[in-house]
Amino acid sequence: MDHSNKFMNPYLAGVLLGFVLLVTIYVTGRGLGASGAMKSVAVSAVQKAAPEHFEETAYYQNYAADHPDGPMKSWLVFEMLGVLVGAFLSGALAGRLGLKLEKGPGVQNTTRIIGAILGGFLFGFGSQLGRGCTSGSALSGMAVMSFGGIMTMLAIFGGAYAFAWFFRKLWIKG
């Protein structure tokens, strides 16, 4: 199999993502999202690791009431499992499977890993403040012409442009 062109055309990928979002809204009545799945995993972990704390905390009780079959039976958990399987299959079919740490020249592995973990925590925290991640708030919100979704997308891209200059040396020279 020829792997010279390892990436899908971004315009085609965007159109396909739009169709996936349309079908998701039609079938489930909701858009896409990832942070809800992570919240289900976190709530399940607290329930197993600290059941007394789980029972005494209103937040967990409210979440459990919204998910009577258990947090791990949320459709968002199954959506994210599908994303992981799909990403693996896509990488396998394109010959792009492997462990690789991408970073700029002169950046140590430890710096890159700490930056990635810190960025992940900040993004996860922000997704809870904003009541959803980029796919939930911005992509799905914009699909239904939500003012909040449009503002979220503007904030995401505006923040990315504002902070990119400060962190550019993690990826590029100069």
Alpha-carbon distance of 46 to 53, in angstroms, equals: 8
Statement to judge: residues 88 and 115 lie in one domain: no
79/115 same-domain check: no
**15/88 same-domain check:** yes
The residue range of the domain holding 114 is: 104-174
Tens of pLDDT along the chain (174 residues) come to 555 567 788 899 889 988 988 888 888 888 887 888 888 888 999 999 999 999 999 999 898 888 888 888 888 889 889 989 998 998 888 888 888 888 877 888 898 899 889 988 888 888 777 777 777 788 888 888 889 888 888 888 898 888 888 877 777 765
Both 114 and 171 in one domain: the answer is yes
Same domain (yes/no): 25, 67: yes
